[in-house]
Amino acid sequence: MWRSVLAVCLFVLAGAFTVTGVANATPPVHTDHVVAAQPTESVSPGPDVQAPQETQPGVNAETKKKLWLGGIALLLFALVYWRNKKRWDKWRKARKAG
């Protein structure tokens, strides 16, 4: 039973840190037209080097959710590990004694 709990913890941890953009991917559109590059007359200017940099508004809500899930999974893993360690120590002492 504890192996299944550990597997669920690892599944939640893996799910918390995977990329969600795969679900939003669109399949490529197949066209029979061949598009050739055409020379352009003018080139649009690039971005201004002295432009103000956009600042990040902070931590995204989805990132917070993933961190919480990862923390919970790590806590559950630690609790299962600690419980099994206690059982192993008890079993080892009983084996040495008897």
Tell me whether residue 28 is exposed, middle or buried, using C-beta atoms within 10 angstroms of its C-beta: 0 to 12, 13 to 18, 19 or more: exposed
| pLDDT interval class at 5 (50, 70, 90) | confident
Domain that holds residue 68: 1-18+62-98
Residue 48 included in any domain = no
Task: In whole angstroms, give the CA distance from residue 48 to residue 55.
Answer: 17
User: What's the pLDDT tens digit per position in 24-55?
Assistant: 556 666 666 666 667 667 767 676 677 676 66
pLDDT tens sequence across 57-81: 677 888 899 999 999 999 999 999 9
pLDDT at 59: 74
DSSP symbols for 1-60 = -HHHHHHHHHHHHHHHTS-SGGGG--PPPP-SPPPPP---S-------TTSPPPPP-SS-
User: In the prediction, which pLDDT does 73 show?
Assistant: 95
> 48: left (phi > 0), else alpha (psi -120 to 50), else beta?
beta
Query: pTM here?
Result: 0.39
pLDDT attached to residue 20:
54
Q: Is residue 25 part of a domain?
A: no
Does 1 map to a domain? yes
Q: Do the domain assignments include residue 49? A: no
CB burial of residue 70 (10 Å; 0-12, 13-18, 19+): middle
If one counts the domains in the chain, the total is: 1
Q: Is the pLDDT at 7 greater than 90, yes or no?
A: no
Q: What is the pLDDT of residue 89?
A: 93
